[in-house]
A and B are shown apart, each in its own frame.
Chain A
């Protein structure tokens, strides 16, 4: 469990930021974690929208979560509902959609809601890291 390790508090372990990956497929969470950990990000996982909302509201995550990567098609609370929650309760946390379904209408609607990127699987590791890095910059700008 490395859910509560962060560069800000754990002086011996610097991270580039904390990213929450929301996807119902464990395989996807695993490879996204692998991809992002290589770039020095601290990665949290949630298997659906409900768990994602629980995670973002848990302890220091309220303050320290930097980016959310979220799937759309999920059980319980789906991606659309979860993203609406993040946007209204944590407007400073940028959200990236990572979905299996290339849907222009959905992409437009998500971008209108303030999602910073709409990525369609399979996405290359480099592209994903770039998207997260861009999102981090936005997050920092929002802090200023």
Chain B
């Protein structure tokens, strides 16, 4: 789709772009998108429709949501807007007549609203209302459902690779339990009996912890609740989960955590993202081992998480593709190609940015930056 701007900064669509523009755009699609002025959208109605639109539209860089309004300030979309930092406008009239708005999306479902909007809007603003807007927000809701399904599918696909680690971590304590129990059957020394009984209890505890960790990780969360996420704790948890997926033999783990590193977002999704990045890092060091560094840091610009490996690195020509869905360098059946795509989606949803630096045969660093959390405990 080609977008053009007039001198007023307004954006409109060209039905068919001139051929030379088309060619350039094809090559530099991302650059073009980031340079154009965003389409300014106002959302009327903060019920299910407004919430679904907020969730979808705020992820799209070429769209700016200038505000949302609803008669009922307790509507779910109002809180969601506050969480996302999107202005909540008390008076519909004020929002509708806002300067520079390109599109007004009316999802109130109230037929009288349409007349109100047309009476109050600026002439250049387009209006989407009635069944059209309903179809649109239902699509947005559907898209959110699909995205959640995709996350879950990729997570479950990843858990398949945990089989070796789980078998190792369950069967080793079971062997210990078997050996000790066999010994206890004819052990006479009371001190030894007590000591070995305690060892069996410890081994059972370790084994049951594995099931607890993994069922927690695998569960499907329907609610996309945002909370304060303690990044250091999440990284530790992710490290524990990743140990089932990949072998950490010959890998030194270095933690450089800054106390109080927090970000706002979904803790389960972020855990999933960290597990992906850590397992990738360890895979990159498959041959000959290396060092995995997990770091967090707080600065004025936000909170950063860095995951660094000293592995094989990513060739320069592939760096542009790594976040694309279904892009994988693994052999068929080994990777879904959705890992980094999902990592990026999760980070973007949390208003974070992800960057990668890599040198072939030297290693790779993924840096995630989250905006500062104002009420973060120091």
Chain A residues with CB under 8 Å of chain B are 24-25, 27-28, 30-32, 34-35, 73-76, 78, 100-103, 120-125
Distance from A46 Cβ to chain B, minimum over Cβ atoms (Å): 15
9 A–B contacts, CB within 8 A, in A order: A31-B179, A32-B179, A35-B183, A73-B164, A73-B168, A100-B168, A100-B169, A101-B164, A121-B175
Distance from B168 Cβ to chain A, minimum over Cβ atoms (Å): 4
**A-side contacts of B169, CB under 8 Å:** 100
Number of interchain pairs (Cβ within 8 Å): 66
Q: Which of B243-260 contact A (CB under 8 A)?
A: 247, 249-250
**A-side contacts of B176, CB under 8 Å:** 27-28, 30-31
Distance from A79 Cβ to chain B, minimum over Cβ atoms (Å): 11
**Cross-chain contact of A100 among B172, B177, B249 (Cβ < 8 A):** B172
CA distance A102 to B171 in the complex (A): 10
* Residue ID in chain A nearest B185 by CB atoms: A125
**B-side contacts of A121, CB under 8 Å:** 171-172, 174-175
**A-side contacts of B177, CB under 8 Å:** 122
Q: Which of B54-86 contact A (CB under 8 A)?
A: none
**B-side contacts of A123, CB under 8 Å:** 175, 178
Distance from A15 Cβ to chain B, minimum over Cβ atoms (Å): 20
Main secondary structure of the interface of B (DSSP, over half): helix
Q: Is the CB of B175 within 8 A of A28?
A: yes
B172, B199, B203 pick with most chain A CB within 10 angstroms: B172
**B-side contacts of A75, CB under 8 Å:** 249-250
CA distance A73 to B247 in the complex (A): 8
Q: Is the CB of A78 within 8 A of B172?
A: no
CA distance A32 to B183 in the complex (A): 11
Quick one: given A121-B171, A121-B175, are A73 and B182 in contact (CB under 8 Å)? Answer: no
* Residue ID in chain A nearest B250 by CB atoms: A75
Distance from B162 Cβ to chain A, minimum over Cβ atoms (Å): 12
CA distance A126 to B177 in the complex (A): 15
Quick one: given A73-B168, A101-B164, A101-B168, are A124 and B247 in contact (CB under 8 Å)? Answer: no
Q: Is the CB of A122 within 8 A of B178?
A: yes
* Residue ID in chain B nearest A33 by CB atoms: B179
**B-side contacts of A100, CB under 8 Å:** 167-172, 175
Q: Is the CB of A124 within 8 A of B172?
A: no
Q: Is the CB of B175 within 8 A of A31?
A: yes
**B-side contacts of A124, CB under 8 Å:** 178, 182
**A-side contacts of B148, CB under 8 Å:** none
CA distance A121 to B172 in the complex (A): 7
Q: Is the CB of B250 within 8 A of A31?
A: no
CA distance A34 to B195 in the complex (A): 15
* Residue ID in chain B nearest A78 by CB atoms: B249
Say yes or no for B180: interface residue by CB 8 A criterion. yes
Q: Is the CB of B167 within 8 A of A101?
A: yes
